[in-house]
Chains A and B, each alone.
Chain A
Amino acid sequence: MSEDIATEEDGTTPSKQDTVTQPARPRSSRDLLRSGFGRNLGLVVALVLLCVVGVATAGDTFATGANVLTILRLAAVIGVVSVGMTFVITGGGIDLSVGAMVALASVWATTLATQQLAADYHWVFMVTTALVVGAACGLVNGLLVAYGKIVPFVATLAMLASARGLAEIISDRKTQIITVNSFTDFFGGSLIGVPVLIWIFLLVAAAGWVLLNRTTFGRRTFAVGGNAEAARLAGIKVQRHTVALYVLAGLCCGIAAVMLMARTTTGSSTHGQLYELDAIAAVVIGGTLLSGGRGTIGGTVFGVLIFTTLNNVFTLNNLSISAQSVAKGAIIVIAVLLQQRLARRSTGS
């Protein structure tokens, strides 16, 4: 019956209709600032500034192709975790257990039994194990939050503790060395001159962007995070969607575990220490609102790159890790202050 009203109007005012059927394209500078590119502009500037500093202080080592690949390789693992984190935070939650899930997935995928299976048949078994373990942890998180009504902070804090504990039990706190050469060969290798790890990061980021911005799943994520009650009354299955978001984050941790296993050729209960903080920091400076309802994958990727580049610049200049931490903290504060300014401006009227 909505058609009735619509067609009736169409018949009488064809000229008006034309203006609507053409989707509005942002043209003015203000619209541009609001578009995805514009919102990331500040991050691009920050990254460029960092690079300028890098070139100025350690030009001969910083501006080499090898160093760029190093930065990207280091960014890849935490980047994949951050993409998953972006979904959870945009959906109004938070996941503190990502680091622990990475550790558990890496340990489980490198037990003697799993490695034997992989050696006998294919390394796919190790990858599958990591992904399943990550997704299963995420499922538990999601069920606790959505149906157990435990606040995300607490539910995932519990997972943080128990997943890492379980990883310690399974590995007996020993580092498990990967002996399956086919696994390390594949994930340690390169494709068209670019390491496989970087390809995975790019793939996950691209898939994440599409999922968040071009699918019903993404739209519902914004709705659930922006106003869960309105989403429920609009007929969205809010609880089921919440579970899916945590599973997605867990899955990303599984992928990250595989990448970390390849980079270090080990599985260990100490993998992924403090990843939750790095990932949340990257997501937040990328422009995703901690309160939910607004999130950008592009921003998250830039956030990760900024932190990794920062580390790199400091390392090349032989500055201490402690100094890095101070700089990191400062960047987070500045980014969030800027973000609040922008948010106030957009809702000021």
Chain B
Amino acid sequence: MTGLLNMTGIVKEFPGVRALDGVDLDVRAGEVHCLLGQNGAGKSTLIRVLTGAHQPDAGMIRINDEPVQLNSPTAAIQRGIAAIYQELDLVPELTVAENIFLGHEPSRYGFSRTHEANTKARAILQGLGHAEIPVHRTVGSLPAAGQQVVSMARALSREARLIVMDEPSAVLDPEEVSNLFRVIRSLTDSGVAVVYISHRLEEIREIGDRVTVLKDGATVATGLDARRTPTKELIQLMTGRSIEYVFPPRNEVPDTAPVVLEVVDLSRPGEFAGIGFGVRAGEILGLAGLVGSGRSEVLETVYGARRAATGFVRVNGAVLRPGRVQDAVKAGVGLAPEERKSQALLLDEAVFKNITVSTLGRFASSGFLNNRAEREAAGKLALALDVRPPGVDHPVRNLSGGNQQKVVLARWLLRDCRVLLLDEPTRGVDVGARSEIYALIRELASNGVAIVLVSSEVPEVLGLSDRVVVLREGRAVHTGPAQEIDEHQVLDLVMEGSA
């Protein structure tokens, strides 16, 4: 293994923020180098420097011992650096093949050679173990996992020597992840280096060779052995304190507690069928399943964001009209959706405006808003949920994932929700903040809220829920108390038949 990339003393400043304050990173050819750090530690900025999207204010980048300046994404690509971003940068209207070769389309005399592009694209996808993806489908019509594969194929089509993967597993289910790892191994075998970013320590153990830990924009440790370094040590380095996922203790839900949310025989053709469950006040019900098993679809249908074909939803005994979000909101149902940024937040608006957006009527008399009352009410909640940085006037965009999630929760708390639907509440939330979110969710339940939780992380569903419904291909295959089932049994249930 030889040194491929060497970054030393990288500094990057934005107005008011020193995002990178002396980062060192060295990556060898053929290794999987993991980058660890909490949200806001500077990982994304570092990646942007590496891919030429940002110019560093100080520091040195060497590739194969040769100092280089990566002053544009094109320059980085020419040096063999490619990146797969967390938010995929694909053009939804173009086909799979067109996306893969975007910017370097096979052509002759300026005419594009569609056939050649399709053939080449097919070959690359086959190499990735995804020959089933049709190269002339538009990317927008593919599921998230498929888009991820296309994004990776694009990196490969550039004959990259170093591929940066920013949380590639966030949108993948376990089977897809093992497939991803297989691809990564075949890449590193051929000498390609991979910089791998993930919040999941167990993945880093499985795929990583060495680890670099970032904290507050600086490298705090580098070259750690990915397999042997104890978890405690890694977390200590990232946070400065040692913690692991802590699930709050469950509280007994008496059989006499009223069933607040009833879902009866809910179906949507092609998505899920015959889903039924009840959630009592104070209870947390977990929905487990693979990506594509219908978890999120069920949740959105309960909320009325999708219209149920058959079946109905009752809240406190009253039936909600299907496909009416306003009905659900009026009945006291709140949704923290999977895609926080695109489905829940007004990113450029202040924290308090995001919190009060569902309760505006309460702060208005004959249509006129009382800003002071809004700020006060939102401020109390932000304080109670420990939203950082404190204060309610920052735009939500500047908050970390965990704090953005708290803002979404605060919105529904303000409404005195009786039913809370949480879709991937800890997606993109760093390790330190996760336990906080868990405790918060449990506290909500203790206060009598009925909660439905969807998560792709099985330990999270099992650790947090009172009861679990396991979904496979749109059907409930198991319902029972969370304590009576373990992770392996759940995985067996969801994979059975699909393997």
Residues of A at under 8 Å CB distance from B?
1-6, 8-10, 13, 16-17, 19-21, 23-24, 30, 210, 214-220, 222-223, 226-227, 229-237, 293-294, 345-349
C-alpha gap A232/B349 in the complex (Å) = 16
* Residues of B391-426 whose CB lies within 8 A of A: 391-393, 395, 397-398, 411, 413-416
C-alpha gap A348/B12 in the complex (Å) = 12
**Contact B337–A233 (Cβ < 8 Å):** yes
- How many whole Å from A307's CB to the nearest CB in chain B? 27
**Contact B361–A216 (Cβ < 8 Å):** yes
**Contact A226–B357 (Cβ < 8 Å):** no
C-alpha gap A223/B15 in the complex (Å) = 27
C-alpha gap A3/B416 in the complex (Å) = 8
> With an 8 A cutoff between CB atoms, is B19 at the interface?
yes
Closest to A347 in B: B397
Contact with A along B307-334 (1 / 0, CB 8 A): 0000000000000000001101110000
26 A-B pairs with CB atoms under 8 Å apart are: A1-B444, A2-B414, A3-B416, A5-B447, A8-B384, A13-B383, A20-B375, A20-B380, A20-B390, A20-B392, A23-B375, A23-B376, A30-B16, A215-B369, A216-B369, A222-B346, A226-B346, A227-B342, A229-B343, A233-B344, A234-B358, A235-B329, A235-B358, A347-B348, A348-B14, A349-B17
**Contact B303–A230 (Cβ < 8 Å):** no
**Contact A1–B416 (Cβ < 8 Å):** yes
Which residue in B325, B371, B380, B395 is a CB contact (below 8 Å) of A17?
B380
**Contact B358–A21 (Cβ < 8 Å):** no
> With an 8 A cutoff between CB atoms, is B109 at the interface?
no
Contact with A along B360-377 (1 / 0, CB 8 A): 110010011101100110
C-alpha gap A237/B357 in the complex (Å) = 12
- 3 shortest interchain CB distances as A-B pairs: A235-B329, A20-B379, A2-B413
> With an 8 A cutoff between CB atoms, is B471 at the interface?
no
**Contact A9–B380 (Cβ < 8 Å):** yes
Instruction: Contacts A233-B337, A348-B14 known; list 17 others, CB within 8 Å.
Output: A6-B380, A17-B380, A20-B391, A24-B391, A210-B368, A214-B371, A216-B369, A218-B369, A219-B357, A222-B349, A227-B342, A230-B344, A232-B305, A233-B325, A234-B358, A235-B325, A294-B348
> With an 8 A cutoff between CB atoms, is B97 at the interface?
no
CB contacts (< 8 Å) of B342 on chain A: these are: 227, 229-230
* Residues of B11-34 whose CB lies within 8 A of A: 14-17, 19
**Contact A226–B360 (Cβ < 8 Å):** no
**Contact B343–A216 (Cβ < 8 Å):** no
C-alpha gap A219/B349 in the complex (Å) = 10
C-alpha gap A134/B231 in the complex (Å) = 67
Residue from B357, B390, B398 with most neighbouring chain A CB atoms (10 Å): B357
**Contact A5–B343 (Cβ < 8 Å):** no
> With an 8 A cutoff between CB atoms, is B382 at the interface?
yes
CB contacts (< 8 Å) of A345 on chain B: these are: 15
> With an 8 A cutoff between CB atoms, is B353 at the interface?
yes
C-alpha gap A23/B375 in the complex (Å) = 7
> With an 8 A cutoff between CB atoms, is B448 at the interface?
yes
C-alpha gap A223/B354 in the complex (Å) = 9
Closest to B350 in A: A24
- How many whole Å from A86's CB to the nearest CB in chain B? 17
Which residue in B353, B376, B390 is a CB contact (below 8 Å) of A21?
B376
**Contact B364–A216 (Cβ < 8 Å):** yes
Which residue in B367, B380, B398 is a CB contact (below 8 Å) of A349?
B398
- How many whole Å from A341's CB to the nearest CB in chain B? 12
- How many whole Å from A291's CB to the nearest CB in chain B? 11
Known: A229-B342, A235-B358. A293 touches B381 (CB 8 A): no
CB contacts (< 8 Å) of B326 on chain A: these are: 235, 237
**Contact A223–B381 (Cβ < 8 Å):** no
**Contact A234–B357 (Cβ < 8 Å):** yes
- How many whole Å from A300's CB to the nearest CB in chain B? 19
C-alpha gap A347/B358 in the complex (Å) = 25
Known: A10-B380, A348-B14. A223 touches B346 (CB 8 A): yes
**Contact A215–B381 (Cβ < 8 Å):** no
C-alpha gap A20/B376 in the complex (Å) = 7
**Contact B381–A6 (Cβ < 8 Å):** yes
Closest to B382 in A: A20
**Contact A215–B367 (Cβ < 8 Å):** yes
- How many whole Å from A165's CB to the nearest CB in chain B? 34
CB contacts (< 8 Å) of B449 on chain A: these are: 1
**Contact A219–B369 (Cβ < 8 Å):** yes
* Residues of B435-472 whose CB lies within 8 A of A: 443-444, 447-449
- How many whole Å from A267's CB to the nearest CB in chain B? 34
> With an 8 A cutoff between CB atoms, is B261 at the interface?
no
- How many whole Å from A230's CB to the nearest CB in chain B? 5
Known: A226-B349, A349-B398. A6 touches B369 (CB 8 A): no
**Contact A227–B346 (Cβ < 8 Å):** yes
C-alpha gap A346/B395 in the complex (Å) = 10
Closest to A232 in B: B325
Closest to B344 in A: A230
C-alpha gap A227/B342 in the complex (Å) = 7
C-alpha gap A226/B350 in the complex (Å) = 12
CB contacts (< 8 Å) of A217 on chain B: these are: 367
C-alpha gap A273/B38 in the complex (Å) = 57
- How many whole Å from B448's CB to the nearest CB in chain A? 6
Known: A1-B416, A220-B360. A214 touches B379 (CB 8 A): no
Which residue in B325, B361, B372, B383 is a CB contact (below 8 Å) of A23?
B372
C-alpha gap A310/B415 in the complex (Å) = 50
CB contacts (< 8 Å) of A348 on chain B: these are: 14-15
- How many whole Å from A38's CB to the nearest CB in chain B? 15
C-alpha gap A348/B15 in the complex (Å) = 8
CB contacts (< 8 Å) of B15 on chain A: these are: 345, 348-349
Closest to B385 in A: A5
CB contacts (< 8 Å) of A19 on chain B: these are: 390
CB contacts (< 8 Å) of A5 on chain B: these are: 381, 384-385, 413, 443, 447
> With an 8 A cutoff between CB atoms, is B263 at the interface?
no
C-alpha gap A327/B402 in the complex (Å) = 49
**Contact B375–A231 (Cβ < 8 Å):** no
**Contact B14–A215 (Cβ < 8 Å):** no
**Contact A16–B325 (Cβ < 8 Å):** no
CB contacts (< 8 Å) of B17 on chain A: these are: 349
C-alpha gap A24/B415 in the complex (Å) = 24
C-alpha gap A235/B325 in the complex (Å) = 6
CB contacts (< 8 Å) of B346 on chain A: these are: 222-223, 226-227, 230-231, 293
C-alpha gap A67/B366 in the complex (Å) = 41
CB contacts (< 8 Å) of A346 on chain B: these are: 395
**Contact A234–B411 (Cβ < 8 Å):** yes
CB contacts (< 8 Å) of A17 on chain B: these are: 380, 383
Residue from B17, B346, B414, B415 with most neighbouring chain A CB atoms (10 Å): B346
C-alpha gap A121/B53 in the complex (Å) = 69
C-alpha gap A210/B414 in the complex (Å) = 25
Which residue in A4, A214, A236, A237 is a CB contact (below 8 Å) of B368?
A214
CB contacts (< 8 Å) of B353 on chain A: these are: 219, 222
CB contacts (< 8 Å) of B325 on chain A: these are: 232-233, 235
> With an 8 A cutoff between CB atoms, is B155 at the interface?
no
C-alpha gap A233/B304 in the complex (Å) = 9
> With an 8 A cutoff between CB atoms, is B335 at the interface?
yes
C-alpha gap A1/B445 in the complex (Å) = 10
> With an 8 A cutoff between CB atoms, is B345 at the interface?
yes
C-alpha gap A21/B284 in the complex (Å) = 33
Residue from A3, A17, A227 with most neighbouring chain B CB atoms (10 Å): A227
C-alpha gap A230/B14 in the complex (Å) = 29
